[in-house]
A and B are shown apart, each in its own frame.
Chain A
Amino acid sequence: MSAAAGGPARPGAAWALPGALFFLVFAVVPLLLVGYLSLTSWEGLGAPRFTGAQNWVRLAGDPVMRQAVVLSAALTAATWLVQTPISLLLGVWAAGPQRNRAVLSAVFFTPLLFSSAAVAIVWKTLLDPNFGPITRVGPWLGLPDANVLGSSAGAFLAVVFVSAWQFIPLHTLIYQGGARQIPAVLYGAAEIDGAGRFRRFWHVTLPQLRHTITTSSVLMVVGALTYFETVLILTQGGPGTDTSIVPYLMYRVGFAGYEMGYASAIAATLVVAATGVSLLLVRFTGFAAMRSTREGM
């Protein structure tokens, strides 16, 4: 590989090979294997036994799976609806010139220091119906028995809230970056036109942030498909199966029930959904144009 007389040296395919092979073995082959294993019966030890479409027939009629799909969709929607407005407003606010901003921002961003497991543990402790601080705060919030995690709606809302607590700082950061890029001239012009604060937000800030909104929404949707740790630690999918989202259901069936074949069918559903999301993202967000996710920030 030497410099051609006509121009700079161009890298050959060999440069991409190690990375592509590694990705193939540890990400793509597993993806294909999920499909194969979903057609087998396998207890995790020994060899998988081919059983044809049996798992899929069972999956189609499984009310717990149907519930899990609905819960995953609801969690994704709730995540977006809760996190987007709050982080947008906070991000725009934090981008402003207030003097106290730096100090407040430092506190705002502390959840980012913790892993998902750590966050879920902290909130599990806080929401413990016997010993947690919720027992003191609960009555004051209209929850006399403080058993938030014991009711279906309460547990679901707790998962939504705890993941919001964990991820809003990240999205605030993204919106802060986006809002700082908006040229001040636009605000000046709007002010001259007599636009008040609300109209400036609506007609300048929001349209200017549309790429940032896309970026943040993409991360939220993809992220909500993977809220596994939060459910595992906070609710264990309960009460009953009322917070068993698809990834958690797969984990429980596969690694607590040792029905790896059936769990693979659940996982394959997740793969199909996630691939669909991937393709949509690549198609509609301009990720294919490949600048970086910072586009529009």
Chain B
Amino acid sequence: MSNDKGTRAGQPGAIIVGASTGMGAALARQLVAKGYQVALIGRQTEKLEELANTLNAAAAAKTVTPVAQLYAHDVRDGDAVPGLLEQIRRDMGRNGGELSVVVYAAGVMPPSEDGEWSFADERLMIETNVIGAMAWLNTSAAVMKRMGHGTLVGISSVAGDRGRKGNSAYMASKAALSTYLESLRYRLHGSGVRVVTVKPGFVATPMTAGMKLPKPLTISADQAAGAIARQCQKGKSVAYVPGYWRLIMLVIKSLPASLMVRLPI
């Protein structure tokens, strides 16, 4: 970048909520590679710091301003979101950029030995996967509506498409998130704000580390981030990642309940 006096080049900015690990971290790397500045949000500050340092060091040759900044935040603290959002927008503005993407990638799925989850576990899933998402998406939607522009991305899951045996609260939380995003999309239609629901299948992340995922159907977080970016670019509103999950879920959704009880899925 030149240092001409007349140059005031800016970059678009993205907020990634839940950027410490997994798909959030992979998306942060993707977006920076595409010329975004990113605000990394999460609880695990050491991991965020490591990611921010790596991203900034790689970009240092090209820009003077940092491309990644971290903000420590627990998504269960929804009341802090408006203030934090203001701060991030100011910080991005100082670098000549503006907020244009918000990705909600925070999500939890506590492990279970015996196929049972405590109420505390279930509450944690709803608070993190749903309430936290609402705090960020609701506030961001209002801001973006006023800007007449922006993209909201919610990382939901194929798990929300149908209730199955297994982690009921997780599936319910993802169903809630998918429905919330769908409604938001209709509400914001025509305002210039895009809402993208991402429904990944099996992805190898710290969240799924303890699970036995079928190898052929499992992709890495980086592969998932790549697919998400591609689908967003194509203009998809609901992005199954990878795309074949659309077909799989179509089949699963059409199975009768009498069969669902018997199937091991």
Q: Does A pair with B?
A: no
